[in-house]
Amino acid sequence: MQFKYSLKTAVKGLTTHKSRSSLTILGIVIGITSIILVMSLGQGAQNLILSQIKGLGATTVTIIPGKISFGPSTAANTLNDSLKEKDLNLLKNRANVPHAKYVMPMVIGSANAVNGNQIYQTAIFGSGEFIPEIFNIIPDRGYFFTGDDVKSRATVVVIGNKVKNRLFNGDEAVGQKIRIKNNIYKIVGVLPEKGASSSFDDSIFMPYTTAQQYILGTKFYSRIVVDVDSEANIASSVEDIKITLRNSHNITDPDKDDFTVTTAADISKTLGTITDALTAFLVAVAAISLVVGGIGIMNIMLVSVTERTKEIGLRKALGATDKDILTQFLLEATILTATGGVIGILLGSLLSFLISLILRNTLGLDWQFIFPWGGAVLGIVVSGMIGLIFGIYPARQASKKSPMEALRYE
């Protein structure tokens, strides 16, 4: 029998039992829908995270005191005082790190900010004056404090949008004064809203010299941020930074570094690995439903073979070979599952699209819908394979029937 006619026969066999066929593929539809949904959302989440990391500056290199490693002994090192003013000056020296555009220390703490009877606890970032240049965020009201403010330990702050709303409701904040610990600070700028996923909204920035003196009472830095002139120079700059700091700290063995240099690429790679692993795990869970769906297909195909014993007998009596019958029933199973796969892909993509709309509009996330092309191809191949694998047993049962016994079957 020609393949075209086998296909026609199989489609006819399925369409005569529409409701049964659609119930049969439900398991496959659900399985493929979940896989597509998970893959699409996973990809969306990954892109969101990566774009946020890029927002932190693709050319940014961050130096953290202490060595981050995976051993148990280094927990104490994470609150290390290894980054000091001497290091800052060495890194600023162009002879040491020629491609450094900005070198800026940061200290991090938290404190209560008070305006009248409004109290709000928030993160305090002590930084240099280059926050707007490095992180690409410019106050939409007022200005960011200057290098002179840093030198003179001026009591000025730039506040995030959320802090402004908590302390001043809708009122103008620039020029107003707030109290942090025992000092009064003048607000010189307010940062624009960046959305729920940004930590800038919920922070107060002040000169690091001011923060060291009045908030933290320390001489060392929580981190030093180096902005490199171009992405191509990141790797060489990381090496320059390491060499400079090792010289400064008298370290000869790189394994004994008391600082850690990370780049945006490192962070995105780590986070990418984590989201990939999560996606793979969820896909594996969803795949279980495909197996269950496949067993459902096998079950119904067996029922169908029994029910159509007489038809099989007739076809054989009229000249159908074992192969013709096998092909017909295998095609039926494969068409069933592949149809389930296509519906699953459409449904999964639609759900993923709706979720991306909801995330964008209600949470204000910059979430992009991604159609998982890889997942779609995989979905069709996998669902077709399930039809083949789980259809083989019933199809063989059908093809092995003797024409006379099949015709006699009641």
* Residues at the contact surface with another protein, assessed by CB under 8 A: 1-2, 5, 9, 12, 16, 310-311, 313-324, 402-404, 407
For another protein, give the closer residue by CB, 166 or 315: 315
Minimum CB separation of residue 304 from another protein in Å reads 14
387 within 8 A of 338, measured Cβ to Cβ: yes
Question: What number of residues does the chain have?
Answer: 410
Minimum CB separation of residue 21 from another protein in Å reads 14
For another protein, give the closer residue by CB, 313 or 348: 313
For another protein, give the closer residue by CB, 4 or 75: 4
For another protein, give the closer residue by CB, 229 or 324: 324
Minimum CB separation of residue 407 from another protein in Å reads 7
For another protein, give the closer residue by CB, 272 or 403: 403
Strands 156-159 and 183-190: parallel
Minimum CB separation of residue 321 from another protein in Å reads 4
Q: How far is CA 222 from CA 87, 155, 163, 359, 377, in A?
A: 13, 20, 22, 33, 47
Which helix (H) or strand (E) segment holds residue 207: the answer is strand 203-207
Torsional class of 136: left (φ above 0), alpha (ψ -120 to 50), beta (otherwise): left
Place of tokens 């199809």: 395
260 within 8 A of 241, measured Cβ to Cβ: no
Q: How far is CA 204 from CA 24, 153, 157, 237, in A?
A: 59, 15, 7, 30
Minimum CB separation of residue 43 from another protein in Å reads 45
For another protein, give the closer residue by CB, 16 or 250: 16
Residues 250, 103: Cα–Cα separation, whole Å: 21
Minimum CB separation of residue 327 from another protein in Å reads 12
Minimum CB separation of residue 40 from another protein in Å reads 40
For another protein, give the closer residue by CB, 239 or 405: 405
88 within 8 A of 224, measured Cβ to Cβ: yes
